[in-house]
Structure 1
Amino acid sequence: MKKDYYEILGVDKNADANAIKKAYRKKAIEFHPDKNPDDKVAEEKFKEAAEAYEVLSDPDKKARYDQYGHAAFDGAGGFGGGGHMNMDDIFSQFGDIFGSAFGGGGGFGGFGGGGFGGGQRKVKGTSLRIKVKLTLEDIANGVEKKIKVKRKIQAPGVTYKTCTTCNGSGQVVKVMNTMLGRMQTAAPCDACHGSGQIMDHKPAGADADGLIMQEETVSIKIPAGVADGMQLKVAGKGNEAPGKNSIAGDLLVVIEELEHETLQREGDNLHYDLYISFAEAALGGSKEIEAVTGRVRIKLEEGIQSGKILRLKGKGLPSINSYGNGDLLIHVNVWTPKKLSKEQKEFFESMLEDDNFKPTPSKNDKSFFEKVKEMFS
């Protein structure tokens, strides 16, 4: 089970952006690869801290994490909020946070051949964003969608060679004369963008980076209980980047919830408006309605009142945090006929003074406001 992101960084849920950044820097420096060479435990803690910071430093991701926990990002097929990050991802995104703690470049020197500021780094392709439309039935059951995505990939036959500007190091060193003496700084190479490689052979049809556009069918497994606006991630299904050691970007999947014909969603609960006649309200009986889990039959007691709310436990949507299912709330509405025949009008006129037809609400007959309060409590 994944650790809580706040626990990893040692901050509470009310921590502001500065506190989160400060906590991450402290953890990252503590478990930095240069400080803990060949220490796999420290490496994992370093990655955990980066994953936690990637989510908590982004207001949108943080809000979704606060509401849904890890389930906001988890799912089959490579979904994740900050998961699956490698060292190059971390230093390319957050290297500036380390400042001058490790050689002024923010990177790491002795870990696997380098990272941002410390030598060659893997270039990551750009991410793609798509919108997937889901019905309430899809959301209730979870669904696998096959989506056609146009993404850039390295052209067949493209080759790369060592960058002549940085001699394959991925960085250039500049020496400047200052009042304090000669100072040396290192920066990613502009010619190869820090990868240490440049294109040697460009196949026909490829762009300036040796990439071509290709349509690919991507299978996306969407877990049950997702909500409108939620964003999931399929790692490695975005655009590829040039270079032998480059890594592909991600495919960001934004959920769009389609409006249901008869059901309205409120979190994990569903609401249904049931209209019944005077006769059905007086005599009682049973009605069958369509829920996301299939058809369900409900019993109407004799003399049921308009505004009555019937709650069917567990017939709503599943919680994305695996806390069970929400409920289906059925709002009973007694339909008043707008036109009456002569016989019907005579009947109701004869009942005007009948004690059985006069409203006599008891304490058990809650007001509209009490029902609303109870519904949302």
Structure 2
Amino acid sequence: MTPTLADVLAVLDRLYDPSWAESWDAVGLVTGDPAQPVRRILFAVDPMRAVVDEAIAGEYDLLVTHHPLYLKGVNSVAATTPKGRVVHDLILSGTALHVCHTNADNANPGVSDALAAALGLTRTRPLKAMPADPMDKIVVHVPTAEADAMIDALAAAGAGNIGEYDRAAWTTLGEGTFRPGEGANPTLGEPGRIERVAEAKVEMVLPRYRRRQVVEAMRAAHSYEEPAFDVLELAELPSTRGGGRIGVLAEPLPLKEFAERVATALPRTTHGVRVSGDPERMIETVAVVGGAGDSEFGRVRASGADAYVTADLRHHPATEARAYDEGPALVDVAHWASEWPWLADAERLLTSELAARGSSVDTHISTLCTDAWDLRL
């Protein structure tokens, strides 16, 4: 089955949720009709003129890029500017453009995961972890005979999901006591008389955005006129999503050999690979950030990494980082090269998800080097 653009975007937004993007970023659909069919998809780092020409000439229905075409708002997309001409050509050719930028940086797996994998890093974790989605815990007391039915009702409303497990709950047994008022209509007992009931306390976690649905389900499933329950907001914890990654090599390598591995693993550019540090220093723990990463020196140093692989390192931040004796060796690569490995991940994940939904598309990864530099003397 040929998917529509809306079908493809639904998968991309699940893999790279727009809510994970930084506040300053511009991600999502730039051109394209959600109802149009998508038979061919081209993946690229930059929506440059040459890449757009490749997409149009190859009759691709969708171009997925990492970098935005417009990062800041504009008042015109007239064809009097290079980017305006790109917009016109995309629309006239029926080629959709979709951007996954910092939402792909912060995803798991995301841009830095692909870079880490290309360099042979294992046991990776985020360098700058995003907080996990806000979670609650519902605690409700029910007659013991109703415990399983209550768990089923709460699970159906979205509670009790922990990793790959669902319907996860904790129950303890005890005794509940209450005295109905004169205007009450108790399920058990009589108004004005103290009642004691064998009860189970059921505890289940839930995403905070499901709170209303879960509480409503609890009330509907409970036999009591006034259920006894609590909703607790759980502490914020780090997630497995976030910018950058820290990992380890299978075996330590001298910095010179590790830098050679980096040069071999990434596509060649005029920029090449620049190294700062003792060539014989042994490297085992490595931090990586796809794209510009000199704003993360503090986190990298705190992580204890032996080396830091990223792009666009500037003179002053780099020299300041080297001023710390315990600081990491620096491996500076081209911005485009550091993010290019992600394209294969995005292609694989998207086609796999579409196949699971009964759809298939023809995909291709652009090998056009869109790094800004053409000559090094």
Tell me the TM-score range normalised by the shorter chain. under 0.3
Structure number with bigger Rg: 1
Instruction: Give TM-score scaled by structure 1 length.
Output: 0.23
With the length of structure 2 as denominator, give the TM-score of the two structures.
0.23
Q: Higher helix fraction: Structure 1 or Structure 2?
A: 2
